[in-house]
Structure 1
Amino acid sequence: MNTTPTYTNPVYSGYFADPFVLLHEGRYYAFATAPAQADGREFALMISDDLIHWTPQGGALEPVPGGVQYWAPEVACHDGIFYMYYSAQGIEGRDHQLRVALSAQPEGPYRDSGRVLTPNDPFTIDAHPFCAPDGTWYLFYSRNFLTSDGDFRVGTGIVVDRLSDMLTLAGDPQVVIRPHADWQIFEPQRPMYGAIYDWHTIEGAALRIHDGKYYCFYSGGAWERENYGVAYVVADHPLGPYQRPDIPPGPLLKSVPGHVIGPGHNSFTTAPDGSEMIVYHGWDAAMSARQLRIDRLTWDGVRPVLHGPTFTPQLAPWLAR
C-alpha cells in the first residue's frame, strides 16, 4: 500500500478568500475574507502544523462600530506584537480604507487601533506588510487611478509606501504596477466616480525576494471570472521602480475550466522543509466558494514557476522539492 503523504486542492472546502498564511513558531495561521463567524468576529482563522490539515478557530478580528464589510487581512509580527492590516467599509460612512488592528498573540483576537492608514484616499484595499532584510517595513496596497498614462489603464493598481512605524505610513506612495493589458479587465463601461470607464484591476500584492531582487506578485482581472490570475513585476529595491518581465502577457497562475476558476490573491509561506509555497484561493467549478489552495513555487533562474493550480493528488509540500 502506498503511504506517501499527498494532498489534493482545495485543502479546505469552505469559503476562505484572500488567504494569508503566517508562520510563527512552527505553526501556520491562515486568515481570510469570509462571512462573519459564529463567535461574532470578522475574518476566518485556521491553524495547521503542515499546511494540509487545517482546524477552524472562529474569527480573528473584533468588529469595528459601523463596519459592514471587511477584506483581505494580513498579519505582521514586530517586537512581539501582531499587527493585522485590512480594509473595512462603512466606518464613518467611508468606502474601503486601510486600518490596523493589534493582538498579543497570532490567533488574536485582534482589536482595531482606531488608526486609518490612508485617510485622504477614498478607496484603499489589500494591504501587504513587508519587512526588508535591513529591517525596514513597507506596506504595499491597492488604490484607484482615474487617468490613462502611457500604456497604463484606468482602474485599480498597486502602490508601496514605507511604514515610519507599524501604525503610520510615510506618506510618499510609489507606483508598483498599474493595469496595462487586456487580460486585466474587470468590467467594461463601468460607472465609477460619476463617469464611465473600461475598468481594469490589479490587486493582492505579495512580495518574494530571489537572488537579491524583489518580486511583487499580483492578481489581475475580475475576481468572479476566468480571466483572474497571478502575474509579477521585479525591482532592485522595495520602493521600485518595478519592471515587467520579458514574457508573453497573461497570468502564470490561471483558471483551469471545469476545475478551478479565478485562482489568485495569493500569499507565500515556507513548508516544513524550507521549500516555498504559494497560498491562494480559487473558485470551484460550480462557483460556490473561493477555497483555500496551496502549490509549489520554484525558480528557473530569474523566473518564478508556479506549479498550479493543481486539482489532483500532489506530494506533500515537504516531499515535493
Structure 2
Amino acid sequence: MARNYLNPVYPHTMADPFVLRHDGLYYAYGTAPVGADGRAFPVLRSRDLVAWEPLGHALVPPGGHDFWAPEVAARDGKFYMYYSAQGIDDADHQLRVAVSEHPGGPFLDAGVVLVPDQPFSIDAHPFRDGDGQWYLYYCIDFLELEDDHRVGTGIVVDRLLDMTTLAGEPRVVVRPHEDWHLFLKNRAMYGAVYDWHTVEGPAMQCHDGRYYCFYSGGAWERENYGVSYVVADNPLGPFSRPAGGGRALLMSTRPGRLIGPGHNSFTCSPDGKETWIVYHAWQPDMGGRRMCIDQLHWENVRPVTDGPTWMERPAPSGG
C-alpha cells in the first residue's frame, strides 16, 4: 500500500469527485465526458485512496446530455445515485436518481425528477443523520434580493421520505453573499441580466454535535473558486456563517500550482482514524479538473486543511 501520495491522485478528468466507502473499498464517481459505451460518470475503485483502478462508467443515461455531479448513497443493499442531467423532455438541468445492485453499476434511472417545481436543480448531496433520517442538500437558483444575499445559485435542504422522494419542504442552507462568490458579471439569465453569484457542491460533516455544510463558491473555471462552510445545530438549519467569510475559509487557489479547488466530498482513512477531503482542482495547464485528496483536521470548532497540496504527503493511515 502507498506510504505517500502526490496530487492529483488520478491523471484524467474527474470533476466533482464523490467517494463512497463500501466493504473496505473506495468507489469514486465524477463528472467527465460520456464513455465509449455511452454511459455517464467514470467510476474508480481503490483500497487506499491513492491508487485508483478505473471500472468504466456507471450510469446508463435515460436520455439528455451534460450529466453532472454524481453522489451515491447505500441503503438496504441498494445503491442510489443522485445526479443532474440536461435535455430530458427539453428541460434544463434537473436532479434525478438512479439505482444499482452494486456500487460499480450499472445504475439505471428510476424515472423520477426529484425537484419538478424548479427550472434548474443540481449538485445533490445525500446525508444520513445519526438517527437514521436521510436528507438531500441540493442547489437551485435565487433571483430575489434579500438581506445581503446576491442573485445566483444557492443551496437548500429537504428531508427524504424515501430514497427517491423528497418531502417538498426545502429550507435555505446558504445563498451567495460574498464578493468572492461571483460567477459572472452581466450574465443573461431568466430574461434579465445579473451579476451572477454561486455557491454549490454541498458536503456535510458533523463535529461535536454540530452540522457543517461545506460548499464551493465562485466560478468553477477561475481562480476565485474555493471551499468554505456554514454551521447549524440541526441538519435543516438555520445555518450561520463563521467569522472571516470574506474569503474561502477551508481551501482556495494556490497560484501556479493548483487552481480552483472545490466541489468536494469527505471520507475516512482505511483505518477509520482520519477524515479526508476529496476534491477537484485544475493544474496550471487547465487541461481538466483532476481528483485530489488532503486530510481534514479540527482546531476546536474550526475545520482546517493544508490543501490544496501539490508536494508529496503521507498517505491516509491504514492504507
In the superposition, the TM-score normalised over structure 2's length comes to 0.98
Q: For 1:41, give the aligned amino acid.
A: R
In the other structure, the counterpart of 2:295 is 296
Q: For 2:3, give the aligned amino acid.
A: P
Q: For 2:132, give the aligned amino acid.
A: G
Whole-angstrom distance in 2 between the partners of 1:233 and 1:57 = 35
Partner SS, residue 249 of structure 1: coil
1:307 Cα deviation after fit = 2.0
- Answer yes or no: is the 8 Å Cα contact 2:2–2:48 preserved in 1: no
Partner SS, residue 222 of structure 1: coil
Within 5 Å, which residues of 2 pair with 1:298-317?
298-317=297-316
Deviation sequence 1:112-133 (CA, Å, 0-9, x none): 0000001110000000000000
In the other structure, the counterpart of 2:212 is 215
Deviation sequence 1:37-85 (CA, Å, 0-9, x none): 12221001100000000011110000112x1110000000111110000
Whole-angstrom distance in 1 between the partners of 2:173 and 2:125 = 13
Whole-angstrom distance in 1 between the partners of 2:38 and 2:177 = 40
- Answer yes or no: is the 8 Å Cα contact 2:270–2:318 preserved in 1: no
- Answer yes or no: is the 8 Å Cα contact 1:278–1:294 preserved in 2: yes
- Answer yes or no: is the 8 Å Cα contact 1:161–1:173 preserved in 2: yes
In the other structure, the counterpart of 2:221 is 224
In the other structure, the counterpart of 1:116 is 113
Whole-angstrom distance in 2 between the partners of 1:90 and 1:46 = 27
Q: For 1:286, give the aligned amino acid.
A: D
Whole-angstrom distance in 2 between the partners of 1:292 and 1:69 = 19
Whole-angstrom distance in 1 between the partners of 2:183 and 2:242 = 22
In the other structure, the counterpart of 1:93 is 90
Partner SS, residue 317 of structure 2: helix
Structure 1 residue corresponding to 2:143, chosen from 134, 143, 146? 146
In the other structure, the counterpart of 1:128 is 125
Structure 1: gaps of 5 or more residues: none
In the alignment of these two chains, the number of paired residues is 317
Q: For 2:261, give the aligned amino acid.
A: P
Whole-angstrom distance in 1 between the partners of 2:2 and 2:86 = 46
Structure 2: gaps of 5 or more residues: none
Partner SS, residue 281 of structure 1: strand
Structure 1 residue corresponding to 2:17, chosen from 16, 19, 24? 19
In the other structure, the counterpart of 2:317 is 318
1:182 Cα deviation after fit = 0.2
Q: For 1:160, give the aligned amino acid.
A: V
1:248 Cα deviation after fit = 4.8
Partner SS, residue 317 of structure 1: coil
- Answer yes or no: is the 8 Å Cα contact 2:17–2:30 preserved in 1: yes
Partner SS, residue 180 of structure 2: helix
Root-mean-square deviation (CA), in Å? 1.2
Deviation sequence 1:157-196 (CA, Å, 0-9, x none): 0000000111100000000000000000000010000000
In the superposition, the TM-score normalised over structure 1's length comes to 0.97
- Answer yes or no: is the 8 Å Cα contact 1:38–1:58 preserved in 2: no
